[in-house]
Structure 1
Amino acid sequence: MDEKERLSALEVALNNEMKEREFYLKNADRTNNPLGKAMFRRIAEDEVEHYERLKQLHVKWKEKDKWPETVPLIVNQTNIRDLLVNTLKNIDKSAQTDAGDLEAIKTAADFEEKGVKFYKDLAASSTDMREKDFFTLLSMIEYEHFMSLRDAEEYFENPAAWFYKVEHSMVDGG
């Protein structure tokens, strides 16, 4: 991948992060389920952070026409399972979900899975280690979102089974 293709891929990534953020905010507003609201808002915040990091990179890259010497390799980590558990401690567990909630989670998981592949491919085509590390980090974060959304999908499909799994994650062998 040449420099022009990389810059174009970065522009695609910027666009994707904003589209995903809009999707998450729209669904946070749409759902009546407090858990769905919290989860969608949290991931929307993460997408803004990703966008800001990518934007910094884009500006520096365009200025110098090459991968910048310094790009922050730190982003906030989000564990949606922890968010699920903490939110569920403080809400009415009988809060209703609707088909739209589950469909939104499945669509979001799809976005994140595509993001994993996109950033992995960018990392694989990179020759600069800083560039490779940056895109690998973004791929790992998108993967965390993907796995967290799958976890949320399990909750929305079968809350009782999800609670059992979370509360009994350690099996007593005695």
Structure 2
Amino acid sequence: MGKGGDMKKDMDRSLKMLSTALEMEEKGRAFYERVVSTCTNSLGKEMFTTLMEDETVHMDRIKKIYESLCGGESWCTWDGSELPHGNLTAIFKKMAKEHGSEIDVETGDLEALDIGIDFEARSVEFYETQLQKATDKLERDFIKEMIVEEKDHYAALE
């Protein structure tokens, strides 16, 4: 197979990866949205709201890149699709320390944490696998950033 065939194969792989990533982010967002509506404590509600908003940013980022590739362009940057906060783990640990004695946790909230942790762990695993296959520098940069952000989500939930 010539260079053109390899490029098409890389493009097909990238589009499939982005499609799968978008599905995962949509499921994560839908889950966090449901949890926000049922969560009984304010810290949990705030944490799940932030995660839901982050999944929306991830979806927008993925759609922008997907549309660029489908339009015959190469990988693009995702400027304007950065997360609006710093390290989630540090933010939530500080809040928990400040308000820990006021927090009552329901069983459903704990189950939601476990499910969220599983979602984020699977996302990290997915992106780490995709990083091994990525050939384009911007694609690798995108995947590395997604790994960092998903690991931050995982750590915040843990």
Q: Please indicate, yes or no, whether the TM-score normalized by the shorter chain is above 0.5.
A: yes
Cα contact 2:64–2:78 (8 A) shared by 1:
no
Given the two structures, how large is their TM-score scaled by the length of structure 1?
0.76
Match of 1:107 among 88, 111, 115: 115
Instruction: Quote the offset at 1:78 in angstroms.
Output: 4.1
Question: Cα RMSD over matched residues?
Answer: 2.0
Gaps of 5+ in 1: 151-174
Deviation above 6 Å: which 4+ runs of structure 1? none
How many residues get paired?
147
Instruction: Please state how far the C-alpha of 1:79 moved relative to its aligned partner.
Output: 1.4
Q: What SS does structure 2 have at the residue aligned with 1:2?
A: helix
CA shift at 1:87, angstroms? 6.2
1:67, 1:117 → 2: CA distance? 25
1:79 aligns with 2:88: yes
Alignment check: 8 A CA contact 1:24 1:44 kept: yes
**Which secondary structure does the structure 2 equivalent of 1:148 belong to?**
helix
CA shift at 1:25, angstroms? Answer: 1.2
Larger RCO of the pair (alpha carbons < 8 Å, separation 6+): 2
Q: State the partner residue of 1:16.
A: 24
How far off its partner does 1:84 sit? 4.2
Distance 1:30 1:84 in 2: 22
**Equivalent AA in structure 2 for residue 67 of structure 1:** S
Q: CA deviation at 1:122?
A: 1.4
Deviation of 1:127 after TM superposition, in Å, equals 1.2
